[in-house]
Structure 1
C-alpha cells in the first residue's frame, strides 16, 4: 500500500507542477498582451498630444497675425512691470 500512496503522491505532485507551469505561462502571455496594449495606448496618447500642441501653436500664430495683439497667454513687459510692487528708493 505504501508504494501506491507514494506513486499517487508523485503523480499528484507532477500534475500540480504541470498545472502551475501552465498557469504561469498563461499569466505571462496575458501580462505581455496587456503591456503591449498599454504601450500602444501611451504612444497614441503621445501622438494626440503632439497634434494638439501643433494645433494650439497654429491657432496662436493665426491670432497673432489676424488680431495684431499679443496672446493673452504671453504677458507683455508692461503688464509684468505693473504687477511688480513698487520699491521705495532713497
Structure 2
C-alpha cells in the first residue's frame, strides 16, 4: 500500500510546489507593477512642475516685452 500512496503524495507535493511558485510570481508581479506605477506618478509630477516653470517663464517674457517698448528698448 505504501507504493500506491507514493504517486499520490508526489502529485500533492507537486501541486503545493506549483501553488507556491504561482504565489511568489504573483507577489513579484505586484511589486513590479507598484514600482512602475510609482515611477509613472513621479514622472507625471515632474512634467507638471516643468509645465508650471515654462508657464512662469512665458509670463515673465511677456512682462519683459511689455516693459521694453515703454523704456525705449532698454531693460533694467
1:29 alignment partner in structure 2: 27
Residues 11-90 of structure 1: matches in 2 within 5 Å? 11-68=9-66
Structure holding more helix per residue: 2
**What is the DSSP-based 3-state SS (H/G/I as helix, E as strand, rest coil) of the residue aligned with 1:40?**
helix
Displacement of 1:29: 0.5
Task: Give structure 2 stretches of 5+ with no counterpart.
Answer: 67-76
Larger radius of gyration, structure 1 or 2? 1
TM-score by length of 1: 0.69
Displacement of 1:7: 1.1
Q: How many residues were matched structurally?
A: 66
Displacement of 1:8: 1.2
CA RMSD of aligned residues (A): 1.0
**What is the DSSP-based 3-state SS (H/G/I as helix, E as strand, rest coil) of the residue aligned with 2:61?**
helix
